[in-house]
Amino acid sequence: MLNKIIHANIYTPDKLLPDQTIEIKDGKIHAIYPTRGNEKKDTTFFDAQDMIITPGLMDIHTHGGMGADAMDAQQNSLNQMSTFLANHGVTSFLATTMTAEENSIDAALSTIRESHLSLPGATLVGAHIEGPYINITYKGAQNPAYFRPPQEQEYRRWIETGIVKMVTIAPEIEGMDEFIQYCIYNDVEIAIGHSNASYDQVMHAADLGARHATHLFNGMLGLHHREPGTVGGILSEPRISAHIIVDGVHLHPAIVDLVVRLKGADKTILISDAMRAAGLADGRYDLGGQEVTVVDGEARIANGSLAGSTLTLERALKNVMQFCHMDLIQALPMVTRNPAKALHLADCKGFIREGFDADLTIFNRELEVQATMVQGKWVYKKS
């Protein structure tokens, strides 16, 4: 039996197709055509009149939500994350680890590998390792007790799991060239973050294959007119995509606008960097073994450093539209097409096209999530 979404206003994301029918079969988009009155009776309908249909949102940097964290190394925590993300329009995500001792990261990766095909909501497409190969000068909320240079035995074990899709590193750390080259050879993306790298070191990392910047401006050497630093290198290097946290806290709205103008919307990816307090009330929580206090939705450790966020990706989308004076067609690729391309999934995700995964987010006109479909199955419908 076919599933059909009728009267859909589709953002592909590159263009608007009004009043369309989407046929879904075997988890894929089977056909797209203008809605007509003679639909077959052997179908299940979802009437999307006055709604907006987009490719499913993709969050490639999230630590947790609803009390769960990827570092819990528990199936139930990943279930909670998957459900929470789906409730906010996300259909695919990278579970992101923290700087920790070897055994803790190994356990998290093992659970991600064992669980990624059986989650109830958003699809877990892999792991993003943030640290421990980063610079203590820009530690942020990462635990400095576990910082270390690349350890070949350790990182080979990570990559051999087959589940690691991205690693955040500081390119200036000794031994990093060999690690970057090993990752690139094994189709693992390299992101620059928590880094004190000079402009030249950023350029060198890009030459080796680094193509991403983790939470640009946050946790890295800033821009100076005589030393462009990490930020200057990232902004000026066209091969590097900028990942930004658009919650109005991590970056001033004018900086968000500046980044999008300089990098272009096609080289900007919105991330949540959410921690376990996302979706919950203010209070005290744990992140990477450190106590985090959340006040008015802002998560900070004892020294005042920001500790991830409580952001959801659909709020980031609305924020970037407001901060950058963009319409939905201009902004939507930053949470759909661009992350799909970053993870080499643009042949099946990030677009609404025939033959692609039926990963869809349904919004009302106010861009509030009404329903989420993952591989042809409804995983969330607003009551």
How far is Cα 252 from Cα 88, in angstroms, rounded to an integer? 24
Q: Which helix or strand (DSSP H or E) is residue 83 part of?
A: helix 75-87
Q: Answer yes or no: 187 catalytic.
A: no
Cα R_g (the chain), whole angstroms: 20
Residues 6 or more apart whose CB falls under 8 angstroms from that of 316 comprise 245, 246, 247, 270, 271, 272, 335
Write the Ramachandran bin of 344: left for phi over 0, alpha for psi from -120 to 50, otherwise beta. left
Query: Other CB atoms closer than 10 Å to residue 130's CB: what's the count?
Result: 30
Write the DSSP string, 178-234.
HHHHHHHHTT-EEEE-SB---HHHHHHHHHHT--EETTTTTTB----SS--HHHHHH
How far is Cα 79 from Cα 71, in angstroms, rounded to an integer? 13
How far is Cα 111 from Cα 360, in angstroms, rounded to an integer? 26
Q: What share of the chain is helix, strand, coil (3-state, %, to 5)?
A: 30, 30, 40
Catalytic residue among 59, 69, 72, 273: 273
Q: Which residues are catalytic?
A: 273
